[in-house]
Amino acid sequence: MKNIVEIANYLINKAGFSCQIVLMLTIMAVAGKAIAEQTVAPNQVIPVDHIVAVVNEEIITRNELNDVIQNTTRQLQKQRVQLPPSDVLEKQLLERLILTRIQLQRAKELGISVSDTELDKTIRNIAKENNLSMGEFYAALQQDGIGLSQFRDEIHNEIIVTRLKEREVSSRINVTEGEIDNFLRTQETSSIGNDEYHVAHILVQILEQMDATQVEAKHQRAEAALRKLQEGVEFAQVSAEFSDAPNAMQGGDLGWRPIMQMGPTFAEMLVTMQPGEVTPLIQSPVGFHILKLLGRRPQETPVVIINQTHARHILIKISELISEDDAHRMILQIKDRIDKGANFAETAKAYSEDASASSEGDLGWLSPGDTVREFEQAMDALLPGQISTPVRTQFGWHLIQVIERRSQDVSEQQQRQTARKAIHARKAEMVMQEWLQQLRDQVYVEYRSEDTQR
């Protein structure tokens, strides 16, 4: 990893964070360097900072915005992307700063937090995925003029924003078994196929409250973007200038996606295209879209064999009435009773405080990841018929008995899970845009010019 933008790209592609991490980290990269490198001559005049926007009771300053503009400009130049007009770039980046600030405020209202332990683990994972020791990782940050404390704060904020979106967006999306059945049936019979497509995307957004005149203005804007593409202007440049999508400054790149995740209208166009080609305008409920096909590759459906364990357990919970020591003492007494010949299933039915007690503690067939780590590790160490020593998890104290094991073909279940994810992702894109706009509409935002503050 050579610079902070590579760290940002890791967070998008590997850790599942949003494209807004790039915006957050660009603020850091330039702000850190500006502080580290700044020298002031004795008679040098230092420009006075001023407010460019107020978001509820928080401010965004001209220096903050300038930092982002400078670093974004530098990164676009490194990618050899022609810069959009300076006023367009400034407007786009200011809106993204405002949107990030709004999301952090909303997360604070909801009490969304991240612990130091979780934050440390995320940073270690970033270093590990880039084959860096923590010392090498800190050196990479220092090379870009970024302090560790500053980096931790920004990663902390991005985790918060990600959790906010998971809470607010995922709760609005429901994928039914019928939808999964239809998806798989269509996949089998459709001429579209099952390949993966690498796509870049430009979105000119329309809002529900817009009248016909405003929608037409957006349509004209989208047409202007398409004309530039047809004239040979680079897609990344047009994206930076025209797109309202969160990844506009990253060339609109959506990465590799199964074709069935793209939605029928997009899919029908993409399957007829060659890499490098661009679609005409496509209108959807959220706006006008332009797609560019960057690549295509076959998506195989592998046979998935996993090891499953049929197990039962006894659980003693810890509560206001039962202390840690009392629960531990009780599970030891139960273990002693079973060691002396008591039947595990009957004992589970009599003493277990888990919902499985009514079925003699039977948990059925468990796949990897179905239980918490401590439970799974203890269960995996047992042979069929063996009973564990007491195991502590977040739920309390357990005794575990392995009944039998098997290797199971879960290809069909895997296909259904893949279908569920694809349907969820397709719905999420529209819900995300609607949610962000609703959030934006609920917040007081005031734009301030330099002239008004003189």
Report the side by side order of strands in the sheet with 362-366. 362-366, 305-316, 396-409, 391-393
pLDDT of residue 28: 43
What does DSSP say about strands 51-55 and 287-297: parallel, antiparallel, or unpaired?
unpaired
Range(s) of the domain holding residue 167? 4-39+46-171
Query: Does 290 share its domain with 428?
Result: yes
Q: What is the pLDDT of residues 33-44, one digit of tens each?
A: 433 333 444 555
Q: What is the pLDDT of residues 203-239, one digit of tens each?
A: 998 877 788 999 999 999 999 999 999 999 999 999 9
What is d(CA 201, CA 238) in angstroms, rounded to the nearest whole number?
A: 10
Q: What is the pLDDT of residues 13-30, one digit of tens each?
A: 444 444 444 444 444 443
Query: Does 311 share its domain with 235?
Result: no
Domain-located, residue 71 = yes
Domain-located, residue 232 = yes
Q: What CATH number did the domain enclosing 235 receive?
A: 3.10.50.40
Q: What is the pLDDT of residues 77-98, one digit of tens each?
A: 877 777 888 888 888 889 888 9
Domain count, the chain: 3
Residues of the chain above pLDDT 70, percent:
86
Query: Does 297 share its domain with 399?
Result: no
Q: What is the pLDDT of residues 332-344, one digit of tens each?
A: 999 999 999 999 9
Nearest alpha-carbon partner for 89 in 104, 70, 103 = 70
**What tokens does 229 get?**
């593409």
pLDDT of residue 3: 46
Is the separation of the CB atoms in 136 and 127 below 8 Å?
yes
Domain-located, residue 446 = no
Query: Does 262 share its domain with 202?
Result: yes
Of 171, 203, 222, which residue constitutes the final position of a domain? Answer: 171
Q: What is the pLDDT of residues 372-390, one digit of tens each?
A: 989 999 999 999 999 999 9
pLDDT of residue 452: 55
What is d(CA 111, CA 92) in angstroms, rounded to the nearest whole number?
A: 29
Is the separation of the CB atoms in 201 and 288 below 8 Å?
no
Is the separation of the CB atoms in 94 and 60 below 8 Å?
yes
Query: Does 314 share its domain with 283?
Result: no
Domain-located, residue 453 = no
Of 123, 150, 171, which residue constitutes the final position of a domain? Answer: 171
What is d(CA 96, CA 60) in angstroms, rounded to the nearest whole number?
A: 11
Q: What is the pLDDT of residues 284-307, one digit of tens each?
A: 888 999 999 999 998 766 677 889
pLDDT of residue 453: 55
pLDDT of residue 140: 85
Helix (H, G, I), strand (E, B) or coil at 52: strand
Query: Does 340 share its domain with 430?
Result: no
Give the number of other Cβ atoms within 10 Å of residue 363's Cβ: 20
128-131 own/partner pairs: CB under 8 Å, 24+ apart: 129/10, 129/14, 130/1, 130/6, 130/7, 130/10
Query: Does 248 share its domain with 393?
Result: no
